[in-house]
Amino acid sequence: MLTVSEKINIAKISQPYAAVDILRKGYAGGGVDLRLALKIYTVRKSVEWRASMEDDAGYTSYSAGLIKTSNFLYSLCGYYGLGSFDSGGSVAPIVPITPDIYPFFISSSDFESDGVTYINENIVGDNIALFVNQWTQQWWPPEAGFFVLTSNGFRVIVDGFNANEQNYTIMVQRVYSPTTPVTTDNTLQIDSSFSLLIDSDNQLLIN
């Protein structure tokens, strides 16, 4: 059973997720109550205040009214407050819903000083395509020689591209193919046809 404190924390996380989800769903919030985030906030503040006052008053256990109101708060969180529970009945920390960041726009000012490197930890591990508005106005698919994924973003490798010399507007979109792991410029891939050998002089050989 969730404690009052846990329900308050769930509400704190549910409020922004509800707000963002409603925004993403556009007109009419996709059926979600447009005021849900505000409702969660309003009730959560009251529950928090009452809980702190009962703590200060030395209550050994929270009042029945507070328990019921906190249960109501949890019910308001709905889908946004779902978490995972272990078999013992205790509550594991909830897995936050990660907002979908794609597609998003970047400009030349978002590149590093070298004019070709873009750093964004949020895209690491994703396969992406780039649409460079001021280039050929075409999509740069992954693994096509326009850019490479790096350990913390991507680097443009096509000749002539320099964000320091041109004001680019680039859309970054996620793609779900190919399904095989995406090669980065700092990753060594060896498949079954190659073998790694260490010789007697401790040299690494790739056969």
Partner 1 sequence: MAFVENFTATQVLGSPSEIVLTDTSTGSDVNIVSRRVSFQTNESTYLVPDGTSTDYVVWPIADTTQTDDVLDKDYALYVTVEWIDINGDALYTKVLLRGFTSYNEDELYLSSQMEAANQMNISDNSFLMNQFLMRNYVDSGNQALERASDITTAQICYDQATILRTTSQYTLNVNS
- Amino acid identity for residue 120 in this structure: N
Contact segment (CB under 8 A) with partner 1 among 63-71, 80-88, 99-107, 137-145 equals: 63-71
Does residue 41 bind partner 1 (CB under 8 A)? yes
Contact segment (CB under 8 A) with partner 1 among 69-77, 154-162, 175-183, 193-201 equals: 69-77
Beta strand 104-107 pairing with 169-175: antiparallel
Torsion angles phi and psi, residue 148, rounded to 5: -125, 150
Torsion angles phi and psi, residue 117, rounded to 5: -105, 130
Q: In the set 3, 30, 34, 65, which binds partner 1 (CB under 8 A)?
A: 65
Does residue 34 bind partner 1 (CB under 8 A)? no
CB-based burial label for 29 (10 Å; 0-12, 13-18, 19+): middle
Q: In the set 23, 25, 34, 38, which binds partner 1 (CB under 8 A)?
A: 38
**Residue 104, strand partner residues:** 172
Does residue 162 bind partner 1 (CB under 8 A)? no
Q: In the set 24, 25, 35, 122, which binds partner 1 (CB under 8 A)?
A: 35
Alpha carbons within 13 angstroms on the beta-carbon side of residue 159 total 0
Per DSSP, 135 falls in state T
Does residue 127 bind partner 1 (CB under 8 A)? no
Does residue 49 bind partner 1 (CB under 8 A)? yes
Query: Applying CB under 8 A, which residues contact partner 1?
Result: 35, 38-39, 41-43, 45-47, 49-50, 53-54, 56-57, 65, 68-69, 71-73
